[in-house]
């Protein structure tokens, strides 16, 4: 269950033909989904939630990579998602 309103707008934006084309996403790649049990399970099994990524994220931002980041604090567990 999604508890924040921005998800629909972000999904609509990322799934638009114009954005997909500009990002170079092949047509055979499925649409963006903000919540995936399959991805979440693999993420948890790999232990990625406990891996510090500040160095990698800093290097990407320093290289000029543009990102969309939103923070949700209206749920029992704060969530940070980077796209």
Three-state SS sequence of 7-66: HHHHHHHHCCHHHHHHHCCCCCCCCCCCCCHHHHHHHHHCCHHHCCCHHHHHHHHHCCCC
The pLDDT score that the predictor gives to residue 66 is 85
Distance separating alpha carbons of residues 33 and 81, to the nearest angstrom: 12
Q: 60, 62, 40: which is closest to 49 by C-alpha?
A: 40
Q: Which residues of the chain have pLDDT under 70?
A: 1-4, 70-83
The pLDDT score that the predictor gives to residue 74 is 54
pTM for the structure as a whole:
0.55
The pLDDT score that the predictor gives to residue 18 is 96
The pLDDT score that the predictor gives to residue 14 is 92
């Amino acid at each position: 269950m999604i508890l924040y309103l921005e998800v629909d707008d972000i999904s609509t934006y990322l799934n638009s033909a114009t954005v997909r084309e500009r990002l170079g996403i092949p047509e055979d790649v499925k649409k963006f989904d903000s919540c995936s049990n399959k991805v979440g399970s693999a993420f948890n099994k790999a232990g990625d939630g406990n891996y510090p990524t500040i160095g990698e994220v800093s290097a990407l931002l320093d290289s000029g990579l543009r990102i969309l980041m939103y923070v949700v604090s209206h749920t029992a567990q704060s969530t940070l998602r980077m796209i």
